[in-house]
């Protein structure tokens, strides 16, 4: 009863255009419930309509067309920089199409080849899904994106770069932590070790910094004296992190 | 603005702009053409883009004007979305699922009847989740104007749901 009253009040403010973003997310969540909502059931369609629209995306064909268009324009304008993000998207699509094509057309002659073909298909698909999800607004979707790379033996370089970007730049701490965890599986790669180290001063959360330090120590990474010293200069540095860093510096 | 920066903008804005164009024009193909046209226009003015505080707002403005021009010549030709309702097997009953689908379609039709400004505000708030302040900034309106228009649009849609439905059994 109390919840119904709360929702009714929220709805009244919603129809007045006075609800905050958070309140509207609460309402949307309430109307996602599968059971009959009684007298409130009549409002379900309003939120269903928004949900339907939020799920709409432009076609892959448009994205690919835009990519080609700007790549061509970029070349004609003699730009030096490579269009990394668009190469990323197009590469994923191409990779996927190629993998599917090869998988279907090559008809492998033995189980080994078949298995390799299947693994390639799976890797391409997961990389592509990661690329599609990594910029989504919901943190849970971005965590899903990050987890797509988990378990891959040889993820594409682009996937590693995206993981590093998520670790350094994602606003959500859980996405950053998930990225660190997944990256740790590739600790044998020098660029990953370097990225974990360089990420330390970029993090504002002691929890993430602590996790990074733990990973670096477990990975036996070559620690950079300069980076750690620089961090110690920060007066706002969490005392626990400071202590950990000082211990690390002594061990270098 | 350099090319990677521009491409990052394109990557981030393609889906929201597409949704807006589809919301305004009703058809997938037309919406995609308008999005492409918007990016082309932004690309042509990329040297000046740094002067704009909010490129996203600029992109929406360019697209909005293109859609207004397009709609001036004809009525919105709306084609249904691929919705998730059919897949939502956990709704109270199959009958309710059907009703819900009908209700959403009614809302779509009602949304098409709204004045353009209300439609845009409704889209930005309900679908893209912009804050009222951001909408006011993008559209160059006062916060109060945005709130009033949003309220009118939402209430218009809710009135649609209150009308008697021919497919519903009337209670005696």
Report, as an integer, the average pLDDT of A200-221.
Answer: 79
- Contact list, A69 vs chain B (CB under 8 Å): 36, 39-40
Q: Band the pLDDT of A111: cuts 50, 70, 90.
A: low
Report, as an integer, the average pLDDT of B7-18.
Answer: 85
Model's pTM, two decimal places?
0.56
> Which of A35-44, A213-222, B34-43 shows the lowest mean pLDDT across its residues?
A213-222
Is residue B27 predicted with pLDDT exceeding 70? yes
Is residue B171 predicted with pLDDT exceeding 50? no
d(CA A97, CA A180): 30
| Residues 78-117 (B) with a CB less than 8 A from some CB of A | 81, 83-85, 88, 90-92, 96, 100, 103-104, 106-108, 111
Q: What is the ipTM of this complex?
A: 0.86
d(CA A242, CA A171): 23
Q: Band the pLDDT of B136: cuts 50, 70, 90.
A: very high
Torsion of CA B48, B49, B50, B56, to 10 degrees: 160
> Which of A171-180, B23-32, B61-70, B112-121 shows the lowest mean pLDDT across its residues?
A171-180
Task: Please give the pLDDT value at position B1.
Answer: 65
Q: Band the pLDDT of A114: cuts 50, 70, 90.
A: low
Helices A84-105 and B3-25: crossing angle, nearest 10°? 70
Give the residue from B60, B7, B63 showing the smallest Cα distance to B37: B63
Chain A closest-CA separation from residue B52 CA (Å): 21
d(CA B148, CA A136): 30
The more confident residue out of B109 and A121 is: B109
The more confident residue out of B70 and A190 is: B70
| pLDDT tens digits, one per residue of A48-75 | 999 889 888 888 888 877 877 776 666 5
Is residue A108 predicted with pLDDT exceeding 60? no
Would you tell me how many other CB atoms lie within 10 Å of the CB of residue A28?
A: 17
> Which of A143-147, A230-234, B19-23, B135-139 shows the lowest mean pLDDT across its residues?
A230-234
| Residues 41-70 (B) with a CB less than 8 A from some CB of A | 43
């Amino acid at each position: 009863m109390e919840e119904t009253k709360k929702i009714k009040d929220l709805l009244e403010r919603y129809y007045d255009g006075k609800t905050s973003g958070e309140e509207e997310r609460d309402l949307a969540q309430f109307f996602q419930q599968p059971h009959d909502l009684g007298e409130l059931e009549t409002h379900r369609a309003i939120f269903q309509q928004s949900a339907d629209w939020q799920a709409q995306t432009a076609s892959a064909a448009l994205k690919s067309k835009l990519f080609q268009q700007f790549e061509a324009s970029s070349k004609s304008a003699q730009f030096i920089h490579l269009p990394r993000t668009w190469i990323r998207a197009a590469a994923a699509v191409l990779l996927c199409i190629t993998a599917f094509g090869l998988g279907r057309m090559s008809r492998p002659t033995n189980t080994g080849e078949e298995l390799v073909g299947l693994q390639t298909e799976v890797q391409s698909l997961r990389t592509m899904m990661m690329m599609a999800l990594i910029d989504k607004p919901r943190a849970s979707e971005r965590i899903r994106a990050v987890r797509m790379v988990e378990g891959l033996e040889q993820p594409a370089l682009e996937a590693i770069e995206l993981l590093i970007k998520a670790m350094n730049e994602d606003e959500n701490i859980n996405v950053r932590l998930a990225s660190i965890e997944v990256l740790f599986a590739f600790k044998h790669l020098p660029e990953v070790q370097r990225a974990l180290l360089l990420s330390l001063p970029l993090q504002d959360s002691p929890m993430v910094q602590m996790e990074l330090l733990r990973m670096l120590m477990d990975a036996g990474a070559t620690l950079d004296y300069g980076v750690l010293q620089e961090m110690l200069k920060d007066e706002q540095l969490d005392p626990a992190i400071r202590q950990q860093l000082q211990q690390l510096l002594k061990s270098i | 603005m350099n090319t990677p920066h521009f491409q990052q903008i394109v990557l981030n804005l393609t889906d929201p702009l597409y949704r807006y164009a589809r919301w305004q024009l009703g058809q997938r193909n037309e919406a995609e053409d308008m999005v492409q046209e918007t990016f082309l226009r932004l690309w042509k003015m990329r040297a000046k883009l740094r002067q704009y505080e909010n490129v996203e707002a600029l992109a929406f403005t360019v697209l909005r004007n293109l859609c207004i021009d397009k709609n001036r010549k004809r009525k919105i030709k709306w084609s249904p979305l691929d919705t998730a309702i059919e897949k939502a097997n956990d709704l109270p009953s199959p009958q309710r699922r059907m009703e819900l689908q009908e209700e959403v379609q009614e809302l779509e039709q009602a949304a098409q009847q709204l004045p353009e400004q209300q439609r845009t505000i409704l889209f930005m708030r309900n679908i893209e989740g912009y804050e009222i302040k951001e909408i006011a900034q993008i559209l160059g309106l006062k916060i109060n104007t945005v709130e009033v228009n949003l309220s009118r649009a939402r209430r218009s849609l809710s009135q649609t749901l209150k009308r008697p439905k021919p497919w519903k059994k009337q209670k005696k």
